[in-house]
Amino acid sequence: MDVDIVIIGGGASGLAAAIGAGRNGLKIMVLEKMPKPGRKIMISGKGRCNLTNLKGWQDFSLHIHPKANFIKPAFFNFSPEDTIKLFNGHGLETVVERGDRVFPASGKAADAVDTLVKAAEKSGAAILTSSEVAGIGKSGPDFLVRLKDGETIHAAKVIITTGGLSYPATGSTGDGYVWAKESGHKIVKCFPSLTAIVPEGYKILPDNVPGKGHIDRSHPLSDMGKALAGNQLRNISLKVSIDGNPICEEFGDIDFTDGGIEGPVGFKVSRRCVNAMEHGSKVRVSIDLKPAVETQSLEKRIETLWKEISSDSRSLGKSHAARMNILLGKLMPMSLISGFLRCNPVSDVRKLGKKLKNWEFRIAGYVGYERCVVTAGGVSTEDISPKTMESRLVPGLYFAGEVLDIDGDTGGYNLQTAFSTGILAGESAAKSLLSGH
């Protein structure tokens, strides 16, 4: 079978590449190994799909790692506003929420997938599902894309949009890295990002699990983990230290889950934490439950509250521990008290303020690719032209999306990066063909 452009991978960047390459009368084929395209989009944003983020480049770029400038041409070629126009133009209404995040108005990720598929097919692309690629070869200037069912597709251009390693059940199993490496591209070491970091003692680990590095989410929670899981903390500060050196401080929300510490702030610091642990460093985090209050002021407030509780007639006959629970109920959610006391068995009221301002955890490990949101690392951007997404090493071969060594924070940044790089790769491949190159 002969086609003009083969796109390997039917996720966000692959469908975007099909849209970018289409509308030119070229024969475009998207090969997706799963039964349906866009499987990972379906679970993004907790099933709501955070399509993009409306921040301008200066602010948007602060959320892209490790080298944001690589995607600058792609961003300006297809901006967050262009993403909204694309979805709106194909019948999907969108809403803007806190933090400039954009979602389908329906709140359903499935609607976003359906819209992308419709847009890709309308542009003239054929989407073949359950079509797994076995390898990529060359025959003169053309590419030979071999499928596992034995069929070979001849193509003038190939765009690899296979994603990374995160959520392998959606089809992301690192195939693109293999083909990139075989064709001479450098692969920057991959590691999970936007994932749960696991405090020491949070999970019950078998003897053969060292408790350093990857800790599978399936391991059961300890009593401490059970006491903490399900709590959501708002407007806290989270500090990270690596080998005893303060690295960063983030403000916002965290969630204690069956995996560990997650939520927007937990995810944001996870990249640095995981990377540090991958290199053998020791990681600690510290939660400040009252970042807007100075320690001295907090201690005075605690002292006043304790006097009020102790002198209240309803406290007569109550134990010190019972009165401490009453005090803590005035300082944190009731559901958090048990977990807090397990980690901070404080009985001296005078020491409580410092504990609330500096709740420390040693981090034992992290949840791996089985449940991380995105893969850090990948095909080195040094081998890719940022103006076209074409390989500098293999003419006619393009890369887009998570397979590249580019990843973003949570908040719509990763999907926008996928759309921007996918559109640019598709447009560039089509223009090259139409110009005879």
Both tokens of 38, joined, read 């866009």
Tens digits of residue pLDDT in 297-339: 999 999 999 999 999 888 888 999 999 999 999 999 999 999 9
Please tell me the distance from the alpha carbon of residue 320 to that of residue 4, in angstroms, as a whole number.
77
Tens digits of residue pLDDT in 202-249: 999 987 665 568 999 999 999 999 999 999 999 999 999 999 999 999
pLDDT value at residue 436: 77
Whether residue 341 is predicted with pLDDT greater than 60 in this model: the reply is yes
pLDDT value at residue 108: 96
* 317 φ/ψ angles, rounded to the nearest 5 degrees: 85, -10
* Mean residue pLDDT across the chain: 95
Rounded-to-10 torsion of CA 45, 277, 184, 385 = 50
Single out the residue of 84, 81, 86 nearest to residue 94, CA to CA.
84
Would you say 20 and 42 are in contact if contact means Cβ atoms under 8 Å apart? no
DSSP string, 73-88: HHHHHS-HHHHHHHHH
Strand, helix or coil for residue 201: coil
Please state the domain extents for the chain: 2-192+374-434, 195-371
Whether residue 96 is predicted with pLDDT greater than 90 in this model: the reply is yes
Tens digits of residue pLDDT in 42-75: 988 888 999 999 999 999 999 999 999 999 999 9
Both tokens of 432, joined, read 């090259």
Q: 5: which strand partners?
A: 28, 157
Percent of the chain with pLDDT over 70: 99
One-letter amino acid of 363: I
pLDDT value at residue 17: 98
pLDDT value at residue 212: 65
Please tell me the distance from the alpha carbon of residue 367 to that of residue 195, in angstroms, as a whole number.
6
How confident is residue 1, by pLDDT bands cut at 50, 70 and 90? Answer: confident
Average pLDDT value for residue range 269-274? 97
Tens digits of residue pLDDT in 146-203: 999 999 999 999 999 999 999 888 888 899 999 999 999 999 999 999 999 999 999 9
Would you say 237 and 249 are in contact if contact means Cβ atoms under 8 Å apart? yes
Q: 146: which strand partners?
A: 135, 152
Whether residue 435 is predicted with pLDDT greater than 60 in this model: the reply is yes
Would you say 242 and 269 are in contact if contact means Cβ atoms under 8 Å apart? no
CATH architecture of the domain with residue range 2-192+374-434: 3-Layer(bba) Sandwich (3.50)
Q: Is 149 exposed, middle or buried (0-12, 13-18, 19+ CB in 10 A)?
A: exposed
Q: 188: which strand partners?
A: 378
pLDDT value at residue 316: 82
Would you say 144 and 138 are in contact if contact means Cβ atoms under 8 Å apart? yes
Would you say 193 and 372 are in contact if contact means Cβ atoms under 8 Å apart? yes
pLDDT value at residue 211: 54
CA–centroid distance for 351 within its chain: 37
- Dihedral sign, Cα of residue 118, residue 120, residue 126, residue 131: negative
Q: 52: which strand partners?
A: 102
Would you say 335 and 230 are in contact if contact means Cβ atoms under 8 Å apart? yes
Residue 396 backbone zone (phi > 0: left; psi -120 to 50: alpha; other: beta)? left
Number of other CB atoms surrounding residue 434 within 10 Å: 12
Per DSSP, 420 falls in state H
Would you say 50 and 148 are in contact if contact means Cβ atoms under 8 Å apart? no
Please tell me the distance from the alpha carbon of residue 418 to that of residue 7, in angstroms, as a whole number.
14
Distances (CA, A) of 43 to 15, 40, 126, 313: 17, 6, 24, 53
What is the value of pTM for the model shown? 0.94
pLDDT value at residue 428: 98
Per DSSP, 169 falls in state G
Please tell me the distance from the alpha carbon of residue 5 to that of residue 430, in angstroms, as a whole number.
8
pLDDT value at residue 207: 76
Tens digits of residue pLDDT in 361-395: 999 999 999 999 999 999 999 999 999 999 999 99
Both tokens of 414, joined, read 């990763």
pLDDT value at residue 300: 97
